[in-house]
Amino acid sequence: MTTADRLTEPAPAPRTARPAKRGAGPAVRRRPRTVRSGRRRRRAVALLYLLPALLPYTLFAVLPLLHTAYLSLFDWDGVTLPSFVGVDNYRRIGTDPQLRAAAWHAGALILFFSVLPICVGLVSAAIVSRRAGRRGTALVRTVLFLPQVIPLVAVGILWRWVYGEDGTLNQALRTVGLGGLTDAWLGSFTWALPAVGLIGTWVVSGLCMVLFLSGTQRIDQEIYEAARMDGAGPVREFTAITVPLLRPEFAIALSITVIAALSSFDLIYITTGGGPGNSTVVPGILIYRLAFGGGAVGVASALAIVLTVVISLAVLVINRLSREAP
Amino acid sequence: MSPSPSSLSRRTFLAATGAVGAAALAACSDLTPGASSAEKSSSGPVSTAVPADKITLVVADADDTTMTPGLIAAFRAKHPNITVKRQYTGWDDYLKSINTTMSADSAPDIAQFTSGMQNLVPGRLLLKVGAYGKAYGWAEKFPGLDQITLTPDGKTVGTGDLYGVGAGLSFEGVYYNKAKARKLGLTVPPATLEDLEALFAKAKAAGETALVAGNLDGGLNHPFNVLLSAYLTPKDREAWAFGHTSATIVLPEAEKAAETLQRWVDKGYVTPKVNGVSDNDATAAFAKGEGVFRISGNWAAAAVAKGLGEGAGYFNMPPVTAGGKVRTTGAGVYYCVSGKSKNAAAAAAFLDFAAGAEAAAITAKAGFMAPDAGAMPSQSGLLGDVQTGWQTVVKDAGLQPFIQNASSPTMGDTLTTQLQLLAGGKATPEKFLAGLQTDFENYHK
């Protein structure tokens, strides 16, 4: 069968018969067929439509992933002959103290990349949606979303200036008479991780707000009107209507931000490189160090696979939870 | 949707995934390079004749001064039939990508050699240039060739085959702000390390930052390296940096160096909150007039001279006891030849060119020390002081390898981490050295 024949098949949905767009269909279409084979053909057509997306996805995502899984079974420095070591690399991961630290930090980053941005996004969405149409709202919305469009590397460089010894933050502290609180934030064992985390909060909050904003627009205004008739104020509206009805958006926001937290790399690489000491080391940094600096491609691959599995599980759990009825 | 098509699609999907996966795994043996490379060396007949046919050489480097481009331009002018293309990458990215670059079929003919590239030796991706070295007489022309002589496993430096040449050499010393030193009544140069520390104390008492440093990216390795040069015997230092079996850095002298550095931080001589300042920012701050002293390499001379002008001074790191030999830390910009190069003779000619008098002027202008020290044009001001300092180092044969360069591919990262812990008071000198030793042993096991 030629490609042209397949393309003239009706689209799988809607199921109702549709008049053929082209004049007379090819003879092949009039041949009597079983329902099952018709469905099979429609599947094939659907796959054909998917091909332009599926092909690059397979080439650039699925195959490299499989390749990484394969490499994780070897002791390989990236140059010389690899030697097969089975699951040894995975065992090494389990016993590495640096890795334990990295796992903790990734966990802490969920607070800054997910929990905080979702709270900030929710509140700002509530405020912006109530002010819709008034002057300045569009500007506020744009400003809040702006960090999302700046490349993370640029964000990192920007915030290095903010957090520097003579940076904006310290200058602000000195201006308001709190000069005693200044610090070289990214070089502090106590503050480096929260400092990097807050950059993440700043970046992701706008995205969460836009998600929630589109969610609130989906909510039927009559529900709000009914609530108002019952005497509900803005806070009550927010807790009783907006939050529960935004469940799907919550799931999306949580999935995206948890992935960002667990797979974080560029922001930390630019701002602290994992330091001071190991205080901001995350799995992404370790993978990079091991693979490209340390000549331990096998261990790095194993770590990457573990990270992929953990992230997939996290997203799976989030989606399961969000599907349950409120 | 009815179950039948759904299960069908799932089956199709699984089958497709399986097929793709199997194909990928089958292709994997081709995707792990190193499997098919053959050993390359110049042990056959080599000549010093520069080829006369039209040739293109690609030079990969991370040298952000004018040296490499200058050498390339001068070499091209001398040999018009040879086109030389430069493939520049920033330092960090160069280090992280060079293994892949050199494994590729399109590997550059010449590459700057640096730590972390030792794997290329057992990977047979570097040409053994010993025969060219003999033909050209490199042993007399280039100082410090032992730093690019490696054993077949690439793990030990100083013995084995020659893999390149060190063209421009760098070394570390102490810069100071002349105006401030005069104002504070500091006598320079100090005769001993103790005297230097006394100067630090005086500067600190006058409310100045005595030693400008930045450790966000591990810049304290400069003072630590030169302190090690002063305290540790050259034999112990080289054994460790060159990766000799059973070498150790857990030595009383190394502990003294680490203690000294930590004391400088604790006493407030070093830039406050040093872990939050990058090394480049420290140089920039010093060049702008902040602080009194800065321990760094000759690569910073141009920036310091530009910032402080006539007010910039330099002296060599003093020895532990007065009148002792001057020892400091340094390395070269090493050029090596790819095992895949089709133009090895032309590449070797380029390496040899770097040792000549014509190259010396280019190298010196870029702030490096030329292999042919006598051919370096004399310079005035700070660059002149640095050059004079270099003569003493050469006279005392005091140039020693950076400890992070040779001992293991991960030592750079480990040293940065450990120095941050040491400066932050999170590690004692013993723990600090033990951390370095662990990295060493993981690689040289």
Rounded to two decimals, what is the model's pTM?
0.81
Alpha-carbon distances of B379 from A13, B295, B361, rounded to whole Å: 81, 21, 11
Q: Do A184 and B123 touch (CB under 8 A)?
A: no
Q: Do A187 and B20 touch (CB under 8 A)?
A: no
Cα–Cα distance for residue pair B194/B191, rounded to 1 Å: 8
DSSP secondary structure string, A257-287? HHHHHHT--HHHHHHTTT-STTTT--HHHHH
Cα–Cα distance for residue pair B328/A222, rounded to 1 Å: 79
Quick check: A268 and B91 in contact, CB under 8 A?
no
> Is residue B120 less than 8 Å (CB to CB) from chain A?
yes
> Is residue A57 less than 8 Å (CB to CB) from chain B?
no
Chain A: give the shortest CA distance to residue B116, in Å. Answer: 7
Judged against a pLDDT cut of 60, whether residue A279 lies above it is answered with: yes
Q: CA-based angle A290:B166:B169, to the nearest 5?
A: 95
Q: What is the mean pLDDT of residues B191-210?
A: 96
DSSP state of B51: P
HSE, side-chain direction, 13 A CA sphere, residue A291: 17
DSSP secondary structure string, B235-290? HHHHHHHTT-TT--S--HHHHHHHHHHHHHHHTT-B-TTGGGS-HHHHHHHHHTT-
**Which residue type sits at B329?**
T
B residues 380-409 near A, CB within 8 Å? 409
Phi, psi of B432 (to 5 degrees): -60, -50
Between A237 and A324, the more confident residue is: A237
- Name the H helices within B32-126: 67-78, 91-103
Nearest to A189 among B31, B97, B426 (CB): B426
Residue where the block lists tokens 């493939």: B87
**Torsion sign, CA atoms A40, A41, A44, A45:** negative
> Is residue A33 less than 8 Å (CB to CB) from chain B?
no
B residues 284-303 near A, CB within 8 Å? none
Q: CA-based angle A111:B414:A80, to the nearest 5?
A: 105
Lowest mean pLDDT among A42-46, A120-124, A253-257: A42-46
pLDDT band at B206 (very low <50, low <70, confident <90, very high): very high
Quick check: B232 and B401 in contact, CB under 8 A?
no
Share of chain A above pLDDT 90, in %: 45
Cα–Cα distance for residue pair B364/B386, rounded to 1 Å: 11
Three-class secondary structure of residue A75 per DSSP: strand
Q: Do B216 and A66 touch (CB under 8 A)?
A: no
Q: Do B216 and A272 touch (CB under 8 A)?
A: yes
Judged against a pLDDT cut of 90, whether residue A108 lies above it is answered with: yes
If you measure CA to CA, which chain B residue comes closest to A292?
Answer: B96
Rank A15-29, A241-255, B35-49 by mean pLDDT and report only the highest.
A241-255
Between A32 and B330, the more confident residue is: B330
Q: What is the mean pLDDT of residues A177-187?
A: 87
Quick check: A266 and A200 in contact, CB under 8 A?
no
Alpha carbon A227 to its chain's center: 34
Three-class secondary structure of residue B354 per DSSP: coil
Nearest to A277 among B273, B281, B417 (CB): B417
Quick check: A154 and A267 in contact, CB under 8 A?
no
Q: CA-based angle A196:B92:B102, to the nearest 5?
A: 140
- Interface-testing mutation among A65, A80, A288, with chain B (most B C-beta atoms within 10 A): A80
> Is residue A8 less than 8 Å (CB to CB) from chain B?
no
Residue where the block lists tokens 């001379």: B301
Token reading at B341: 């190069």
Reported as a single tens digit per residue, the pLDDT across A191-203 is 999 999 999 999 9
Judged against a pLDDT cut of 80, whether residue B116 lies above it is answered with: no
Closest residue by Cα to residue B73 from B323, B296, B365: B365
Q: Is residue B266 classed exposed, middle or buried when 0-12, 13-18 and 19+ CB atoms within 10 A define those classes?
A: exposed
Helix axes B381-395, B301-308, angle to 10 degrees: 140
**Which residue type sits at B51?**
P
Residues of A with Cβ-Cβ distance to B102 under 8 angstroms:
79
Cα–Cα distance for residue pair B158/B150, rounded to 1 Å: 6
pLDDT of residue A13: 44
Quick check: B322 and B191 in contact, CB under 8 A?
yes
Nearest to A187 among B17, B125, B273 (CB): B273
Reported as a single tens digit per residue, the pLDDT across B4-27 is 444 445 555 555 555 555 555 555
Share of chain B above pLDDT 90, in %: 58
- Non-local (6+) Cβ contacts of B342 within 8 A are B109
pLDDT of residue A28: 47
Average pLDDT, chain A: 84
Reported as a single tens digit per residue, the pLDDT across B78-91 is 999 999 999 999 87
Q: Do B273 and A188 touch (CB under 8 A)?
A: yes
Lowest mean pLDDT among B43-47, B234-238, B242-246: B43-47
Three-class secondary structure of residue A158 per DSSP: helix
pLDDT of residue B44: 58
Cα–Cα distance for residue pair A142/B16, rounded to 1 Å: 44
| ipTM here | 0.76
HSE, side-chain direction, 13 A CA sphere, residue A93: 24
pLDDT of residue B41: 55
Residue B241: other Cβ atoms inside 10 A: 28
Q: Do B424 and A189 touch (CB under 8 A)?
A: yes
A residues 74-133 near B, CB within 8 Å? 74, 76-82
Bridge partners for B399 per DSSP:
B328
Three-class secondary structure of residue B177 per DSSP: strand
pLDDT of residue A219: 85
pLDDT band at A34 (very low <50, low <70, confident <90, very high): low
Alpha-carbon distances of A168 from A175, A200, B38, rounded to whole Å: 10, 18, 56
HSE, side-chain direction, 13 A CA sphere, residue A170: 16
Q: What is the mean pLDDT of residues B184-209?
A: 96
Cα–Cα distance for residue pair B146/B139, rounded to 1 Å: 10
Nearest to B21 among A40, A66, A78 (CB): A66
Cα–Cα distance for residue pair B249/B241, rounded to 1 Å: 9
Cα–Cα distance for residue pair A200/A271, rounded to 1 Å: 12
Chain B: give the shortest CA distance to residue A8, in Å. Answer: 20
pLDDT of residue A148: 86
Quick check: B211 and B200 in contact, CB under 8 A?
yes
Quick check: B415 and B436 in contact, CB under 8 A?
yes
Token reading at B36: 């098919």
pLDDT of residue B437: 95
Share of chain B above pLDDT 70, in %: 90
> Is residue A276 less than 8 Å (CB to CB) from chain B?
yes
> For chain A, how big is the Rg over CA atoms in Å?
26
Cα–Cα distance for residue pair A159/A196, rounded to 1 Å: 9
